Amino acid sequence: GENVEQHPSTLSVQEGDSAVIKCTYSDSASNYFPWYKQELGKGPQLIIDIRSNVGEKKDQRIAVTLNKTAKHFSLHITETQPEDSAVYFCAASTHAGGTSYGKLTFGQGTILTVHP
């Protein structure tokens, strides 16, 4: 099955700096890669996603890049703000093997702290 590794486990930055979180996946059939933000006591919330036919996607201060050859993808947050502080999860999903309905395999999470 799919295995997703996420690094770093914790990330501390100053307000205004950029933050980068990296994930690798094992199943070359994976073709959908969402990123979720989880605040304390809440469920994960989708912040950006990318499909395997695209190498990069940007939404305001957030961008995701995908390298299918190397099987890794990254989340980039620019001009970080204290309200960006949360746990961030990457995930991978595949159409192969009967999981066409979108079962997600998550990384272990990154605790991002943005200091004012």
Partner 1 sequence: GAGVSQSPRYKVAKRGQDVALRCDPISGHVSLFWYQQALGQGPEFLTYFQNEAQLDKSGLPSDRFFAERPEGSVSTLKIQRTQQEDSAVYLCASSFLPRDLGGTEAFFGQGTRLTVV
Considering only 50, 105, 112, 114, the residue that binds partner 1 (CB under 8 A) is: 105
Q: Smallest distance from the beta carbon of 102 to partner 1, in angstroms?
A: 4
Strand 86-94, strand 104-106: pairing: antiparallel
Residue from 24, 19, 32 nearest 95 by CA: 32
Based on the shown chain and the rule CB under 8 A, indicate whether residue 96 belongs to the binding site for partner 1.
no
Based on the shown chain and the rule CB under 8 A, indicate whether residue 6 belongs to the binding site for partner 1.
yes
Based on the shown chain and the rule CB under 8 A, indicate whether residue 98 belongs to the binding site for partner 1.
yes
Three-state DSSP at 82 gives helix
Based on the shown chain and the rule CB under 8 A, indicate whether residue 14 belongs to the binding site for partner 1.
no
Q: Smallest distance from the beta carbon of 108 to partner 1, in angstroms?
A: 5
Q: What percent of the chain is helix, strand and coil (3-state, nearest 5)? A: 5, 55, 40
Q: Are 31 and 49 in contact (CB under 8 A)?
A: no
Of 42 and 83, the one with the shorter C-beta distance to partner 1 is 42
- Tell me the window of 52-60, 64-72, 73-81, 100-108 that interacts with partner 1 (CB under 8 A): 100-108
User: What does the alpha-carbon distance between residue 3 and residue 57 come to, in Å, rounded to a whole number?
Assistant: 23
Site for partner 1 in 42-71 (CB under 8 A): 42-46, 49
